[in-house]
C-alpha cells in the first residue's frame, strides 16, 4: 500500500478530549470521578434559544442555506459586533461556520502558505499548533510567564519575528489561563503587527465571560488593525451552545470570500436549525447569559479560595473564561507511592488514577509544568474535587 498523508500523520490527538474521555469512561463504570477537564458550560442552553429551534423544526424549512450562513444570522452578527464591540462589518465579511474551531481552521487555510511562520503565545489553546501545521505553516511558540500573570511577552514576540512570519494568534480571554489582555497590551501587540505587516487572529470566544477588567476587541483599536485582524467568535461558551456548533469570523471581504469558497467544498453550510436558534440567541433576551456569567464568577472565587489552602500550587488570578491554570513545579521530582512525577501529564494521570479527579495536563497548552482545572461545574463538585486534590498533594514524599 502507498503511504498515507505525511502532513496528517504528524497531527497529534487532543489531550483534552483524551483525558475527558477516560474520566467519562471511569464514571460510566461506576467510579466516583470529579471531572475538572471539560471545556464546556454545564448549563442548559437558554430556553428561548431551545424554543426557537423547535419552532424552526416544526416550520419545516430546514434545508441547506448559503454555505457561509443565513443572511439574517450574518446581519444579527454584524449588529452584535457594532453594538457590543464597536466594529462595523457587512454580511459579506462574515462567514458562519460549524463552530469557532472551523472558523479558525478556515482562517489558517486562507492565510497561510507552506513555510509561513505563525507566532503563538503559550499557554495557548490546544488546537492552534495543529491547525497551523494543517495549513502547511510553522508554529513559533513564545512563552508568557506566571510571574507576569501571562501577559503578552512583547520582547520575545519581537525577537521571534522573521521574514517568514505571517501572523500572530491572540486569545483573550484566554484558554487555559483565564488572562484578559488590557487595552494597552492589545495596542502594543497591534503596533508589533503593524510594524511588521502581520495579520492577527483574535480569538474572542470567551468575551462575555469577563469578571475583572473588560473585554476589548483588537480590530476596534485602529483602522489599520481593523484591516489586518480576523475576529473569531461563536455561540458555544457564552450561550451554552457547545453542541450546536455555530461559530463565525469577521474579516475583509477578500479573505471572507476565500474562506467561504473553502467552506463550500469542505462542509457546506453549518446546521440550519442551529443558525435560526442563534439569531434568537443574539437578538433576544440576554438575562440568562448574565446569570450564567455571575454563576461562573461565584465558582471562580470559590475555587481560588480553596486552591489558596493547598500548599505547593501556584496560579495567576483568572480574569475571564472558566479555567484556572495551576503550576505544579514544586511537585516535580517527587514521588506519589512508587511513581515519580516528572511533568504535568504524570501529575494529571496519577491524580485521576489515585484520587479520581480529572484535570488537563498543561502540555496540551504548551505549558508542561501545569494542569488546567475548569469551574464549569457545580460548587459541590468543585468542593469535593479540590478536597481530593488537597489530600492528594499531602501524600507526596
- Write down the pLDDT at residue 21: 81
pLDDT digits (tens, 9 = 90+) for 124-161: 999 999 999 999 999 999 999 999 999 999 999 999 99
- Write down the pLDDT at residue 23: 86
- Write down the pLDDT at residue 18: 73
User: Could you tell me if 38 and 123 lie in one domain?
Assistant: no
CA atoms within 13 A on the CB side of 13: 6
Question: Would you say 374 and 359 are in contact if contact means Cβ atoms under 8 Å apart?
Answer: no
Q: Last residue of some domain: 283, 314, 335? A: 283
Q: How confident is the model at residue 226 (pLDDT cuts 50, 70, 90)?
A: very high
Q: How confident is the model at residue 227 (pLDDT cuts 50, 70, 90)?
A: very high
Lowest pLDDT segment from 27-41, 75-89, 100-114, 320-334 = 27-41
**Burial of residue 189 (number of CB atoms within 10 Å: 0-12, 13-18, 19+):** buried
Whole-angstrom distance, CA of residue 139 vs CA of residue 290? 36
User: Could you tell me if 332 and 241 lie in one domain?
Assistant: no
Q: How confident is the model at residue 6 (pLDDT cuts 50, 70, 90)?
A: confident
Q: Is the pLDDT of residue 208 over 90?
A: yes
**Burial of residue 359 (number of CB atoms within 10 Å: 0-12, 13-18, 19+):** buried
Strand partners, 324: 373
pLDDT digits (tens, 9 = 90+) for 237-247: 999 999 999 99
User: Could you tell me if 12 and 130 lie in one domain?
Assistant: no
- Write down the pLDDT at residue 70: 98
Question: Would you say 358 and 22 are in contact if contact means Cβ atoms under 8 Å apart?
Answer: yes
Q: Is the pLDDT of residue 194 over 80?
A: yes
Q: How confident is the model at residue 8 (pLDDT cuts 50, 70, 90)?
A: confident
pLDDT digits (tens, 9 = 90+) for 279-316: 999 999 999 999 999 999 999 999 999 999 999 999 99
- Write down the pLDDT at residue 87: 98
Q: Last residue of some domain: 261, 283, 305? A: 283
- Asked whether residue 384 is domain-assigned, the answer is yes
- Write down the pLDDT at residue 61: 86
DSSP label of 210:
B
Instruction: Give me the CATH number covering residue 226.
Output: 3.40.640.10
Cell of 150: 501571562
User: Could you tell me if 302 and 390 lie in one domain?
Assistant: yes
Q: Last residue of some domain: 250, 283, 316? A: 283
* Cβ-proximal residues to 365 (8 Å cutoff; 6+ apart), any chain: 122, 123, 124, 125, 126, 175, 176, 325, 372
- Write down the pLDDT at residue 17: 72
DSSP label of 161:
-
- State percent of the chain over pLDDT 90: 92
Whole-angstrom distance, CA of residue 77 vs CA of residue 161? 33
Q: Report the chain's mean pLDDT, rounded to a whole number.
A: 96
Mean pLDDT of 96-122: 98
- State percent of the chain over pLDDT 70: 99
Q: Which domain holds residue 198?
A: 63-283
Q: Is the pLDDT of residue 333 over 90?
A: yes
User: Could you tell me if 120 and 267 lie in one domain?
Assistant: yes
User: Could you tell me if 332 and 386 lie in one domain?
Assistant: yes
- Write down the pLDDT at residue 30: 93
Mean pLDDT of 358-383: 96
What total number of domains does the chain contain? 2
- Write down the pLDDT at residue 108: 98
User: Could you tell me if 364 and 321 lie in one domain?
Assistant: yes
- Asked whether residue 54 is domain-assigned, the answer is no
pLDDT digits (tens, 9 = 90+) for 11-34: 877 766 777 788 889 989 999 999
Instruction: Give me the CATH number covering residue 305.
Output: 3.90.1150.10
Amino acid at each position: 500500500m502507498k503511504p498515507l498523508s505525511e502532513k496528517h500523520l504528524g497531527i497529534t490527538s487532543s489531550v483534552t478530549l483524551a483525558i475527558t474521555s477516560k474520566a467519562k469512561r471511569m464514571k460510566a463504570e461506576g467510579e466516583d470521578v470529579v471531572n475538572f477537564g471539560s471545556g464546556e458550560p454545564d448549563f442548559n442552553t437558554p430556553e428561548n434559544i431551545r424554543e426557537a429551534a423547535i419552532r424552526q423544526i416544526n416550520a419545516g424549512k430546514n434545508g441547506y442555506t448559503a454555505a457561509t450562513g443565513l443572511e439574517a444570522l450574518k446581519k444579527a452578527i454584524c449588529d452584535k459586533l457594532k453594538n457590543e464591540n464597536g466594529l462595523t462589518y457587512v454580511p459579506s465579511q462574515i462567514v458562519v461556520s460549524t463552530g469557532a474551531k472551523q472558523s479558525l481552521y478556515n482562517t489558517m487555510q486562507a492565510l497561510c502558505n507552506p513555510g509561513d511562520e505563525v507566532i503563538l503565545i503559550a499557554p495557548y489553546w490546544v488546537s492552534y499548533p495543529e491547525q497551523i501545521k494543517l495549513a502547511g505553516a510553522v508554529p513559533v511558540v513564545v512563552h508568557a510567564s506566571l510571574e507576569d500573570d501571562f501577559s503578552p511577552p512583547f520582547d520575545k514576540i519581537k525577537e521571534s519575528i522573521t521574514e517568514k512570519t505571517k501572523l500572530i494568534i491572540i486569545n483573550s480571554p484566554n484558554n487555559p489561563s483565564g488572562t484578559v489582555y488590557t487595552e494597552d497590551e492589545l495596542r502594543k501587540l497591534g503596533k508589533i503587527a503593524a510594524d511588521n505587516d502581520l495579520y492577527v487572529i483574535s480569538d474572542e470566544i470567551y468575551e462575555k465571560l469577563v469578571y475583572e477588567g473588560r473585554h476589548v476587541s483588537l480590530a476596534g483599536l485602529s483602522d489599520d488593525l481593523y484591516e489586518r485582524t480576523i475576529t473569531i467568535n461563536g455561540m458555544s461558551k457564552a450561550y451554552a451552545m457547545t453542541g450546536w456548533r455555530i461559530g463565525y469570523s469577521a474579516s475583509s471581504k477578500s479573505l471572507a470570500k476565500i474562506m467561504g469558497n473553502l467552506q463550500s467544498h469542505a462542509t457546506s453550510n453549518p446546521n440550519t436549525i442551529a443558525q435560526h436558534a442563534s439569531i434568537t440567541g443574539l437578538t433576544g433576551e440576554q438575562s440568562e447569559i448574565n446569570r450564567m456569567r455571575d454563576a461562573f464568577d461565584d465558582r471562580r472565587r470559590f475555587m481560588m479560595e480553596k486552591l489558596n489552602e493547598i500548599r505547593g500550587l501556584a496560579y495567576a488570578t483568572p480574569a475571564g473564561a472558566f479555567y484556572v491554570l495551576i503550576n505544579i513545579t514544586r511537585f516535580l521530582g517527587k514521588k506519589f507511592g512508587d511513581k515519580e512525577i516528572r511533568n504535568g501529564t504524570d501529575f494529571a494521570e496519577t491524580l485521576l488514577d489515585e484520587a479520581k479527579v480529572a484535570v488537563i495536563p498543561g502540555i496540551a497548552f504548551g505549558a508542561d509544568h501545569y494542569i488546567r482545572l475548569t469551574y464549569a461545574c457545580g460548587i459541590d463538585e468543585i468542593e469535593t474535587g479540590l478536597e481530593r486534590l488537597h489530600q492528594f498533594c499531602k501524600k507526596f514524599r
